[in-house]
Structure 1
C-alpha cells in the first residue's frame, strides 16, 4: 500500500509492548513523546495497563487512548518548552474526566468533550479508567474553525448540544473502523471534523474556510479539466461536500463552476495553439485534449473569448 504523509503518522502501542520500562513509565514516555509532554501517576504502578492508537488526519493527529485509573498533569515548564501552540479536544467515550485548567474546575461526564490548551498547565484525573478519543490540533488550523478557542478551554462541551452527536459518531467510527480503508481522503475527513467542532462550539463557519475550499475546487478543475465528463458532482464528491455547497462557495467569490471550467479549457487550448511543438497537431485534437468534444462548439467559444478563431490565433503567432 502506498503510504501518504498522514498515513506515515499512524501508530499503535500498548503497555504489553513495553520491554525496558515499567508499564506506567512506558505510557508516560509514549504520550510525552507522541502527544504532549506530561506527568502520569497511578496507584496501580506495575499492573497499570494502557493502549494508544494514532491516525494522521491532514494537519491534525487523532489519538485514541484506553487506560486504567490515572492522573495526568502538564506543568508551566512543560508548556513553555513547546514551540508551536496546540490544542487538545478530548471526548470522554467511557469514564469521567476531572479537569483543572485555566481557572476552570469541572467534571466531564461520558459523552462530553473538553478543550485543552497545551500552552497552559492542566491536570486531568481519570478515576474510573477511561476510553478517551482526542484530537491534537495546531492552533492555526483550529482557528480556521473556532476563531477564539481560548474562551472554551477547560469547560464541558457538547452537553445538551444536538451537534455533539455527529462529532461523537465520527470519532467513534474513526476509532472502531480505523482509517486504513476510509472511502474519503483524509484531508476531507479533517475538514468534516473541523466543521463539526465549529458546530459544537456554536460558532459561524469562518470565511477563510470558504476561501480554502474554493482554492481546492479550482485546483481540482485545473487538474482534471481535460476530462469531458467532469461535473460539479464529481468534484463535490471528491471534496466530501454537496454540489449545492460547491456552487454556494464559488458564488461567494462571484465565480461559477461552468465559468471556471470554460476559462481553464480555453486558456489551455490557447497555450497549446501557441506552442511550436504543437504546430502539427490538428485543432480538433487540441480541442479534444482540453475537454471539448465538439470542434465547432469549441471554435465558437474560443472566438467569443479571444475575438479570433483558433486557426487565426495560431496563424497570427507564426507571423514574423
Structure 2
C-alpha cells in the first residue's frame, strides 16, 4: 500500500500529524508513506522512521517571488514529482483549499475532512471520501481518527510520534521557547528572565534559541541576564538540542509541540488558545493555562486589552514563574524516576 499525506504547515500542525503516520505503519505493516510539506518544515518528517519520501513545496516563498522564472521552474518540478507515482490513498490532513488542490492533483483516490469538520469547508468538495470528525477534540486525535476511518482500523494506544534524535547534548540544560506567531501568545519578558534565574539557581544551564529578527532581539534581552543565547540553527539541529535538554518551558508554539513529540519534560503556558484542542500533554508534559478571565480562550491573534489596561500584559498569563518552574521540576523528576 502506498499513501500520500498532504500536511503543508505549520510546524505545530506537522508535529500533530506524526502519530497518524505511526498508526498507519502499525495497522498497515509495510505501507509506504510519502508526505507533501512546506520546505521550511520538511526536517520534521525526515526524523520519523515511517516516512519513505518527502515532496517539498514552497507556497509561502513562491507567493513573494511568483514573478521570477526560477519560481515557475520550481513549481513545475513540484508538480512533476507530485504526479510521478500513483497512490492507493491520498489523505489531506490539512483541510484547506490549497491542500485539497494539492491532493486532487496527485494520482489516486483522495480523502479528507467532511464539510462539518474541515477548516475550509469548500475543500471537502475536492475529496472522493469525506470523513466528519468532532471539531471539539484535540488536533492529534482528530487526525488519528481521520486516518483510522479512511483506512478501516481502530487505534487504542496513546499517541506515538515516532521521532528519534541522536547527538543529544547536556541533560543539565533547560530551553526557554519564547518565540511564537501571535502577539497575544507572547509571555512577558520579565517572566522569561525570572524563569532563567530560577533555573540557574538550581544548577541548570539555560538555553535561549532565536528564529527571525524580532525573536533574536528578544532572545538577546533575555540572555543578557545570564542565559546562553544559541546561534540560529536549522530545524533539524534545533530538534537535536531540544531532545537533549532536561526540560523545556514554552508558550503555544511549534517548537513546544516538537518538544512534546521528542518526549522531553515540558511545561507549556497557554493564554489565548485552547489546551483542549492543541494543548501539550503526555507522560512528562503538562499545559498550564490561566482561568482568571472570562475571555480565555479568546483564540485571537491580538489581545483586546492593552498595556495601559493591565498590570500584567497579556493578562491571561497570570501563572507565576515560580509556579511554572516548580511544575517543570516535577515533570523532570517523573522522567528521572521512570
- Fold match (TM-score > 0.5): no
Tell which structure's C-alpha radius of gyration is larger: 1
More contact order relative to length (CA 8 Å, sep ≥ 6): 2
TM-score bracket for the superposition, by shorter chain length: under 0.3
Larger helix percent: 1
What TM-score comes out, normalization by structure 2 length?
0.22
What TM-score comes out, normalization by structure 1 length?
0.23
Larger strand percent: 1
